[in-house]
Structure 1
Amino acid sequence: MRCEEDSTHSAESVIMAAMPTILLFSYLFTLLAGYLLRGLNLGHLKRHGNSVPAGFEQAVDAATLQKTSAYTLAQSRLGLVESLVDSALLLIFVFAGLLPVYDRWIGGLTDSPVIGGVLFFLCLLLAKTLIDIPFSLYRNFHIEKEYGFNTQTLGLWAGDLVKGVLISVLLLGLLLGGGLWLVSVSPTGWWFWGWLLFVLFTLFLMFISPYVIEPIFFRFEPVKKEGLEEAVRALMERASLSAGKVYQVDASRRSRHSNAYFTGIGRVKRIVLFDTLLEQLETGEVLAILAHEVGHWKKRHIFKRLVKTELLALGVFYLAYRLIEWDGLPALFGLEQTSFAAQWVLLSFLGRLAAFPFTPLGSWLSRRDEWQADRYACELHDTPGDLASGLVKLSRDNLANLHPHPWYAAFYFSHPPVVQRVQQLRTCAVRSGDLPP
């Protein structure tokens, strides 16, 4: 009997000793898989990027396709370098002994576990911000500028950076301080109270964002396009929704990319249109884009996603509690005991590994919602062909990749490939008589 116990203990010791290597190679495998998919996507674009898809003939020419391919390649190259740098720093931090050094340094600054935990994460946030600065500068002032998108000055970019950091530090500091205080007062129940705090904080941000946070960065004003606000309200009435307020935002101060979205929740929700969108699209196309967004509300996609997120967060909080209570979490990484905050870094690493296989499922669920919103837009808007033509123009003006590899799109795309969307929408328009067969 004693021999069996010794054998079991020996096997567990061997497994625990091998776990850092297993986790390291598991992470490298996910990186390699992602890079292979990226390579497939670029190779597919190189082979097929010169052909104009059906339905795009009137808007896209050979020069646009060539520019699109170059833009996609430039963005992908920068994304690859950024991913390599981030991954290398993460692996060094976790596996090369920097995490316990950093943990001890933070612990030496204060005896309070709450203050120490807040400092632990805020310092990491500031470090990540500094690391991201060169990539952001290159992306905005080289790639985006070269392809005609960037319109912001260096001063505006710097102002946005400072404001973003200050807001993040304030909000994250409050959330972390509250969460760590709950850990100190409820050592066995913090997972539930921490989750509840997370839920309330999420809803709080959804309420205050339209009135407090977004106006810090953008200027909102009533839509200036004649007759558009009345048409939007008529569209919302057909959908039996309260429109709230309809605004246009000065996105053109920063970029020529365009978008439209709903923001807020309950009585504070509003419709926001980029001024660049209003310049690029006709009124009917703008309404069709909004009809798609209305489809998300009518199909309760936003509510369902919020519920799924909060339920997933509940599971994450409970699992985190069990793993931290186990006391063996640091040993998985070959470390001795670490602080509560440091163990969350280890948990986030495990979470990235666990989430990777589910990435295509999450992407598929998101694409399913987009298809449903497209079909609803076809039913709500009088001329469903407008959504197809609007997407064609947006794809052209934003240099969207019209030839993604099917595997890459299946794994990563939250929206269906735009060529497929346009084909489906044109079919819908033909059936309704909006377009000729």
Structure 2
Amino acid sequence: MKWLILLTYLAVLAARHGLRWLNLRHLARHGATVPEGFEDAVRPEDLQKTSAYTLARSRLGLLQGLLGSALLVLFLFGGLLPHYDRWAASSGGFVLSGTLFLLGLLLIQTALDIPFSLYGTFCIEARFGFNTTTWRLWLSDLLKSTLLSLLLAGLLAAGALALVSASPDRWWLWVWALFAAVTLFLLYLSPVLIEPLFFRFEPVRREGLEEEIRRLMGRAGLKVSKVLQVDASRRSRHSNAYFTGIGRVKRIVLFDTLLEQMEPPETLAILAHEVGHWKKGHIWKRLLATEALFLAGCYVAFRLLHWPGLPELLGLEQASFCARLVLVAFLGSLAAFPLAPLSSWLSRRAEWQADRYAAELTGEPEHLASALVRLSRENLANLHPHPLYARVYYSHPPIVERVRALRRRNTSKETGR
């Protein structure tokens, strides 16, 4: 069984990298072609730069993925897991040893990611004109994010393991409730406590824009506590806009880079798209679906963790609770791979709905279309993804398809159809 599981993992790995290769090959064949409707905004030299950027990011991702996969195989199938498990078990009781077990894995993963983050930020992003991060700021972000992750993960792990110890027969339900409560708490807490640790927020500077945004929100029947811009340009020239928080702490946040790149009507169109996610209930539906899946996952994990034959699947004679949890998570990742296209399709469907809502709310589909064209150019987005790769991995419809759909809608509006 051990070798069958290993072969299954290698097959999944081959499928993932095969799709990546297919996407890059498709880009090499079609990347020099300017898509219809992009002629006035994208030049052939822009496409060459986009292809080079996509290739550089993909190569880095491939190297990172191969290294991570090799270490995972060594850890699970090469005999390192029992040694690590024994080290953690010698650290104390059930809760303490389990917490150290999980935090140790988090620290290892963070350390492995550091060289790839450095190369991606100071080599690739700098080469293509995106990086504005200083070494001091990068290190500050790393230290703050690592400490915050360790704190939250440590508290969650200790709390969950305490529930497992206190309620051996019902812990799956209590652990789910704990994580659900923390998720909701962080939705409220993040905008006012966590995000300001990394970014500086201030009122939108562009004259008259906040009033236009509030009028747009009024037409949509939404109230936001604040309309802010964030100093994203301290780290990167990439641009974005998003809603954050829920309830009374709901905010609109605009990257300062976005405000520099977009005309006001385009900015409003992008925000109207985000409003569409709220009005169509995508945020709550996604949250409820995630919690339902996590509840089911907790119960399945509960059953598997109490199955005596679980360690034997990887040729182990015995394993602690947390070591078994790692095995369950690994098996879960294999089972989830075939579901990736469904998850991506559901996400793309929500994006189509948000695009249509934005077109209806603003009454000008062309504004969102031109904003998407501009975003693709400024961020060097791949305009030629392979259709199969997009179906499996793209959470958003390809930019070219979105722009075409919006312009068809704009043409229909102008002709009165």
Shorter-chain TM-score category?
Answer: over 0.9
| Aligned residue among 127, 131, 137 for 2:118 | 137
2:371 equivalent to 1:390:
yes
How has the CA–CA distance of structure 1 residues 286 and 436 changed in structure 2, closer, same or farther, with 3 Å as cutoff? Answer: farther
Percent identity over the alignment is 63
2:407 equivalent to 1:426:
yes
2:185 equivalent to 1:204:
yes
Match of 1:148 in 2: 129
2:118 equivalent to 1:118:
no
Residues in 2 aligned to 1:141 and 1:280: alpha-carbon distance in whole angstroms = 23
Residues in 1 aligned to 2:269 and 2:232: alpha-carbon distance in whole angstroms = 20
Match of 1:36 in 2: 18
2:248 equivalent to 1:302:
no
- 1:144 positional shift: 0.2
Match of 2:325 in 1: 344
Residues in 2 aligned to 1:97 and 1:161: alpha-carbon distance in whole angstroms = 31
Residues in 2 aligned to 1:388 and 1:287: alpha-carbon distance in whole angstroms = 12
Cα RMSD (Å): 1.1
Match of 1:230 in 2: 211
Match of 2:261 in 1: 280
| Aligned residue among 34, 39, 51 for 1:57 | 39
* Partner SS state of residue 188, structure 1: coil
Residues in 2 aligned to 1:41 and 1:80: alpha-carbon distance in whole angstroms = 13
Question: Could you list the runs of 5+ residues in structure 1 that have no partner in the other structure?
Answer: 1-18
Residues in 2 aligned to 1:415 and 1:436: alpha-carbon distance in whole angstroms = 29
2:172 equivalent to 1:172:
no
Q: Write out per-residue CA displacement over residues 73-95 of structure 1, whole angstroms, 9 at most, x where no aligned residue.
A: 00000000000000111111001
Match of 2:299 in 1: 318
8 Å contact from structure 2 (residues 224, 249) kept in 1: no
* Partner SS state of residue 306, structure 2: helix
* Partner SS state of residue 248, structure 1: strand
Question: Could you list the runs of 5+ residues in structure 2 that have no partner in the other structure?
Answer: none
- 1:326 positional shift: 1.4
| Aligned residue among 308, 330, 336 for 2:311 | 330
- 1:382 positional shift: 2.9
Match of 1:3 in 2: none
2:194 equivalent to 1:213:
yes
Residues in 1 aligned to 2:416 and 2:285: alpha-carbon distance in whole angstroms = 37
* Partner SS state of residue 35, structure 2: coil
8 Å contact from structure 2 (residues 32, 48) kept in 1: yes
- 1:432 positional shift: 1.9
- 1:194 positional shift: 0.4
Residues in 2 aligned to 1:432 and 1:214: alpha-carbon distance in whole angstroms = 41
* Partner SS state of residue 326, structure 1: coil
Q: Write out per-residue CA displacement over residues 99-152 of structure 1, whole angstroms, 9 at most, x where no aligned residue.
A: 010000111121x11011111111111111111100000000000000000000
Residue type at the aligned position of 1:425: L
Residue type at the aligned position of 1:346: L
Residue type at the aligned position of 2:224: A
Residue type at the aligned position of 1:278: L
Map of 1:70-89 to 2, 5 A cutoff? Answer: 70-89=52-71
Match of 1:400 in 2: 381
* Partner SS state of residue 253, structure 2: strand
Match of 1:9 in 2: none
8 Å contact from structure 2 (residues 224, 248) kept in 1: no
- 1:436 positional shift: 11
* Partner SS state of residue 336, structure 1: coil
* Partner SS state of residue 168, structure 1: helix
- 1:244 positional shift: 2.1
Across the two proteins, how many residue pairs are aligned to each other?
Answer: 417
| Aligned residue among 9, 30, 53 for 1:48 | 30
* Partner SS state of residue 262, structure 1: strand
Q: TM-score, normalised by structure 2?
A: 0.99
2:50 equivalent to 1:68:
yes
| Aligned residue among 19, 23, 48 for 2:5 | 23
Residue type at the aligned position of 1:84: L
Q: Write out per-residue CA displacement over residues 51-100 of structure 1, whole angstroms, 9 at most, x where no aligned residue.
A: 10011111100110100000000000000000000011111100111001
| Aligned residue among 165, 181, 186 for 2:162 | 181
Residues in 1 aligned to 2:259 and 2:37: alpha-carbon distance in whole angstroms = 22
Residues in 1 aligned to 2:308 and 2:148: alpha-carbon distance in whole angstroms = 34
2:223 equivalent to 1:239:
no
Which has the larger Rg? 1
* Partner SS state of residue 50, structure 1: coil
Residues in 2 aligned to 1:205 and 1:331: alpha-carbon distance in whole angstroms = 38
